[in-house]
Amino acid sequence: MLNRIIVVVIFVPVAILLVALAVANRQMTSFTFDPFNPGNAALSVQMPLFVMLFLALILGMVIGGVAAWLKQGRYRKEARTRRREVQSLLQQKQPAPVASASAPPPGVPALRG
């Protein structure tokens, strides 16, 4: 229920704003990779402005995700170390003796037939 509220309150208005942004910025814009010679057609790309904005947004999300993943590496390493310690402790623990299949468990009377 909370997820639906979050979607309706946050994501739907953001999606509406992004669609409005895309419709309002349909004109072609030049993006150049050469800051010293902006007229160089070989290093320029013509695309709608909203495409550039969406690409910048996606690139920012990818860079932010990679940075967060790299920053949290020490926590993942610590979790792997603790998982190995738990596994080694579980392997060292001796298993409880198994009761024979013909004998009833303790506290349960045997059936005579």
The pTM for the full model equals 0.58
What residue segments make up the domains of the chain, in order of their start? 8-73
Dihedral over alpha carbons 56, 58, 62, 63 (to 10 degrees): 10
pLDDT by residue for the chain (113 residues), tens digit each?
Answer: 888 888 788 888 888 988 888 888 888 888 888 888 878 888 888 999 888 888 999 999 999 999 999 999 999 999 999 999 999 988 887 666 665 556 666 666 766 65
Phi, psi of 53 (to 5 degrees): -65, -45
CA distance 16 to 10: 10
